[in-house]
């Protein structure tokens, strides 16, 4: 039986507690009070290799004003419930939409200190309005920073892309290359991670069709399910945890 067949068999037979012993960190992008505190979110923080970047940003919003910060927290909460029902320990980098930050370096530390088996940073893009769809961002190979998580993060990204696409029916982003899986070297959350980590841009909030979907509570549940399915698919393909 090939590796893919083994994974599919595990997915078919796994029960509600199949993620017991696994730790997942969900990182809902941005925060509701970021815009009111530019002195905090514009502060430069170290992201490794002598580079610096702003602590955080305000994120984007639909044309109707539904913010990325609110959306990502809604989705993360739903995905967390699904993963917990499957036995995983889920850590959130923020629990409300009333705060500022946390800064990108602190978000990375949360995943590292949890010794997470997988970290997913949840976002929605503010791309060109004619374009739509999702994409997953994985770390580029950076010696001394991401070289130790490169392969595992690539596997996580592929599993997430496949499951998310299947669950939501959303297309891979039509406005950029990479076939729905893009490597980036400039994101602090990936550069500073010591555990497998990816970002997912779940939709393009500036596109009318995508905006209608992210505003829909029912479709947000599909988005959350797609993320949870991807994490589960990845974790079930890894060796059983020893702890």
Q: What is the pLDDT of residues 97-108, one digit of tens each?
A: 999 999 999 999
Identify the helix (H) or strand (E) that includes residue 2.
Answer: none
**Under-70 pLDDT residues of the chain:** 1-16, 241-243
Tokens standing for 108? 């990375």
Please list the residues that pair with 127 across neighbouring strands: none
Query: Can you give the pLDDT at residue 243?
Result: 46
Query: Can you give the pLDDT at residue 38?
Result: 98
Catalytic sites, residue numbers: 201
Q: From the CB of residue 112, how many other CB atoms can be counted at a distance below 10 Å?
A: 16
Identify the helix (H) or strand (E) that includes residue 113.
Answer: helix 104-113
Tokens standing for 155? 């596997």
User: Class of 19-236 per CATH?
Assistant: alpha beta
Query: Can you give the pLDDT at residue 12?
Result: 42
Write b or e for each residue in 116-135: b if 16 or more Cβ atoms lie within 10 A of its Cβ, otherwise e: bbbbbbbbbbbbeeebbbbb
Tell me the three state secondary structure of residue 222. Answer: helix
Query: Can you give the pLDDT at residue 164?
Result: 98
Count Cα atoms within 13 angstroms, Cβ side, for 88.
29
Asked if residues 26 and 120 have their Cβ atoms less than 8 Å apart, the reply is yes
């Amino acid at each position: 039986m090939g590796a893919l067949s083994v994974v599919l068999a595990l997915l078919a037979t796994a029960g509600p507690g199949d993620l017991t012993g696994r730790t997942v960190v969900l990182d809902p992008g941005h925060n509701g009070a970021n815009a009111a505190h530019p002195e905090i979110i514009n502060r430069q923080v170290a992201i490794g290799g002598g580079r610096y970047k702003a602590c955080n940003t305000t994120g984007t919003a639909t044309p109707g004003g539904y913010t990325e910060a609110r959306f990502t927290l809604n989705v993360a909460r739903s995905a967390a419930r699904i993963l917990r029902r499957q036995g995983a320990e889920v850590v959130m980098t923020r629990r409300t939409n009333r705060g500022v930050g946390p800064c990108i370096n602190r978000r990375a530390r949360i995943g590292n200190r949890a010794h997470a088996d997988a970290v997913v940073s949840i976002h929605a893009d503010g791309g060109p309005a004619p374009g739509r769809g999702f994409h997953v961002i994985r770390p580029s190979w950076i010696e001394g920073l991401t070289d130790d998580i490169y392969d595992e993060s690539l596997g996580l990204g592929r599993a997430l892309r496949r499951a998310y696409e299947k669950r939501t029916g959303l297309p891979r982003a039509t406005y950029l290359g990479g076939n729905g899986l893009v490597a980036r070297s400039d994101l602090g959350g990936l550069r500073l991670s010591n555990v497998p980590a990816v970002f997912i841009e779940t939709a393009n909030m500036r596109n009318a069709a995508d905006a209608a979907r992210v505003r829909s509570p029912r479709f947000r549940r599909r988005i959350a399910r797609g993320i949870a399915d991807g994490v589960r698919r990845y974790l079930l393909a890894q060796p059983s945890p020893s702890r």
